[in-house]
Amino acid sequence: MLNKYARAFFTRVLTPFAAFLIRRGVSPDTVTLLGTAGVVAGALVFYPRGEFFWGTVVITLFVFSDLVDGNMARQLGRSSRWGAFLDSTLDRVADGAIFGGLALWYAGNGDDNVLCAVSIFCLASGQVVSYTKARGESIGLPVAVNGLVERAERLVISLVAAGFAGLHKFGVPGIQYLLPVALWIVAVGSLVTLIQRVVTVRRESAEADAEAEAQTGGAAGQNRSARGSEAAK
């Protein structure tokens, strides 16, 4: 849902900014690299110290680079395999930094081994969810499923909760519990999404194998018929 509607909205909003960067000679790849560096810095500098509000502010500013670089590429007519590869690869780096920063907090001053483990699970499951789709498509399957919690949902849920949880340091009582709840939601949602994709790939691969076998059997039958006809002559 977020990929379909929110992405389209922010793409329209950020189009003038993308055009401005193009006029200044900035390349889409540069925006991708700087955006990822900003997310990684925000996550690994602020989150391990429990500075969730300011860390989320920094991360959110740079997360939008994921929309800006694609917008720039479309305006330039330069959409390429390399750009898509770089963007997807660095998305995984950014996601790892966000959940890694949260895991470092809970492993240190946050002093909660369970939530540290949940953060690590969110990190790992997010990578695997992305891999299942990429791997399925690489073997020729459409992987036609919209998972319950995809990357956009993982980021929105986690960053919004982390940002609000950071308001605890400004005197807002009880709001720090929002982040643990969000992490559990992301963990469970990612697990459901992983199962959805694995089941879909299994079904699609079985259908593709059955279709290929049917085509092979049909071709073999035609060959036998042709040989029979030749023998009759």
Q: Which residues are catalytic?
A: 91
State the angle between helix axes of 151-165 and 113-138 in degrees (0 to 180), rounded to the nearest 10.
160
CA pair distance 151, 42, nearest whole angstrom: 18
Check whether 7 is labelled as a binding-site residue. Answer: no
Q: Is 70 annotated as a binding residue?
A: yes
112 annotated among ligand-binding-site residues: no
Q: Give the whole-angstrom CA distance, residue 36 versus residue 33.
A: 5
Was 69 annotated as part of a binding site?
A: yes
Question: What is the rounded distance in angstroms from the CA atom of residue 99 to the CA atom of residue 59?
Answer: 12
Residue 110 DSSP symbol: T
Question: Is residue 29 part of an annotated ligand binding site?
Answer: yes
Q: Nearest 5°: CA angle at 29, between 15 and 127?
A: 95
91 is in an annotated binding site: yes
C-alpha 181/C-alpha 160 separation (Å) is 12
The reply, when asked if residue 32 is annotated as ligand binding, is: yes
| The residue count for the chain | 233
CA torsion sign, 42 to 48 to 49 to 52? positive
The DSSP 8-state label assigned to residue 175 in this structure reads G
Is residue 74 a known part of a binding site?
yes
Report whether 62 contacts 18 (CB < 8 A).
no
Instruction: Check the annotation: does 30 bind a ligand.
Output: yes
CA angle 72, 62, 87 (to 5 degrees): 50
List the binding residues for Mg(2+). Answer: 66, 69, 87, 91
List the binding residues for a CDP-1,2-diacyl-sn-glycerol. Answer: 29-32, 70, 74, 80
